Amino acid sequence: MAQLIGLIGVGIMGRPMAKNLLKAGYPLVVHDRNRGPVQELVGAGARAAASPREVAGQVEILITMLPNSPDVELVALGKDGIIEGARPGLLYLDMSTISPLVSQTVGAALAPKGVRMLDAPVSGGEKGAIDAALSIMVGGDKADFEAALPVFQALGRTITLLGPLGAGGFTKLANQIIVAVNLTALGEALTLARKAGLDRELTLKALGGGLAGSKCLEQKTPNYVSGTYTPGFKVDLHFKDLGLIMEASRALGVPLPCTAVVQELFNALRVKGRGGLDHSGVITLLEELAGFPGQA
């Protein structure tokens, strides 16, 4: 019989991940502060739990998919948290993008309870979550990774063990540098092309066929063509990641000049009230700087 899995955090990413676990035949217990997605998943065959503690007390493998480090700390270590309900042998997979140092702190706090932890942040956005095509970057013990692998295979295609706990998080931060800088470069390029009077769809086709092609270009082309930036991954969340990146860069002594500029552009988007846009929406700020009318 398939292992009973718990999933805490069923938002933009967690909800399709939960559906893919159900599709793969895993019995599932879910919890989220937002009742709407929980009820949707209950309708699809999951069971609801009232707290992280209640989830942890039932399951063999527990996944969290949460916005930031404080959320993970609260769910894992706070009142009615995982630490209060976990049984020895629980395998905890934190798939959120948080500070790798916080992952290590949480893992150390849970270890005396007999909880094994992997940090396993993902890349691929909402589409990757829906298609079960995520890239999953894992840090932790090899035996725990092998135990979790069938679950990861229900959620993603590129699954890599990168080192001890925290290694997954550091890899995800490197990923987020590339994505943020790439989306900003795409925004600059497409703004230049627009100013020159070029057709956007044809420009994207030409760029995508050469060295400038990228997953970002491919996945975000519908946004650029339509001029709408419904979030697959919000500016607010990527700005949070940029903060984690700069914090890590200072701790490690690694100057990141391009990333620092991009962080300020994302900050400007948020000041303009565009934090809820998809992160490809950085183009709206660049177009405004070039003299095109701003987004309402």
Q: What is the pTM of this model?
A: 0.92
Residues 64 and 103 in one domain: yes
**pLDDT at residue 247 tops 90:** yes
pLDDT category at 295 given cuts 50, 70, 90 is confident
176 closest CA partner among 109, 231, 99: 99
**pLDDT at residue 237 tops 80:** yes
Domain extent for 150: 5-163
Residues 10 and 156 in one domain: yes
Residues 234 and 278 in one domain: yes
Q: Is 124 exposed, middle or buried (0-12, 13-18, 19+ CB in 10 A)?
A: buried
208 closest CA partner among 196, 190, 194, 227: 190
Task: Indicate the number of domains in the chain.
Answer: 2
Q: Where among 117, 135, 163 does a domain terminate?
A: 163
* Residues catalogued as catalytic: 172
Go through the chain and tell me how many residues it has.
296
pLDDT category at 157 given cuts 50, 70, 90 is very high
Handedness of CA 94, 99, 100, 101 (dihedral sign): negative
> Does any domain span residue 296?
no
pLDDT category at 130 given cuts 50, 70, 90 is very high
Q: Where among 105, 128, 163 does a domain terminate?
A: 163
Give the chain's end-to-end CA distance (angstroms, integer).
Answer: 53
Residues 150 and 41 in one domain: yes
pLDDT category at 1 given cuts 50, 70, 90 is low
> Does any domain span residue 180?
yes
Residues 140 and 203 in one domain: no
Question: In the chain, what percentage of residues exceed pLDDT 70?
Answer: 99
d(CA 47, CA 31): 9
**pLDDT at residue 162 tops 80:** yes
CB contact at 8 A, 95 and 136: yes
Residues 18 and 152 in one domain: yes
161 closest CA partner among 194, 130, 136: 136
Residue indicated by tokens 């500016």: 235
Q: Are strands 134-139 and 47-48 parallel, antiparallel or unpaired?
A: unpaired
What does the pLDDT read at residue 75? Answer: 98
Q: What one-character-per-residue DSSP string does 32-51 give?
A: -S-HHHHHHHHHTT-EE-SS
What does the pLDDT read at residue 296? Answer: 61
What does the pLDDT read at residue 239? Answer: 98
d(CA 167, CA 1): 32
Residues 45 and 125 in one domain: yes
> Does any domain span residue 294?
no
Residues 11 and 105 in one domain: yes
Tens digit of each residue's pLDDT (9 = 90 or more) over 51-85: 999 999 999 999 999 999 999 999 999 999 999 99
44 closest CA partner among 59, 70, 66, 26: 26
d(CA 51, CA 56): 9
What does the pLDDT read at residue 232? Answer: 87
Residues 205 and 271 in one domain: yes
Residues 15 and 38 in one domain: yes
DSSP state of 135: E
Q: Which residues touch 232 (CB under 8 Å, ≥6 apart)?
A: 12, 125, 126, 127, 219, 278
Compute the mean pLDDT over every residue in the chain, rounded to the nearest whole number.
Answer: 97
CATH number at residue 74: 3.40.50.720
pLDDT category at 234 given cuts 50, 70, 90 is very high
Residues 25 and 159 in one domain: yes
Residues 14 and 132 in one domain: yes
Tens digit of each residue's pLDDT (9 = 90 or more) over 181-230: 999 999 999 999 999 999 999 999 999 999 999 999 999 999 999 999 99
Q: Where among 145, 163, 181 does a domain terminate?
A: 163
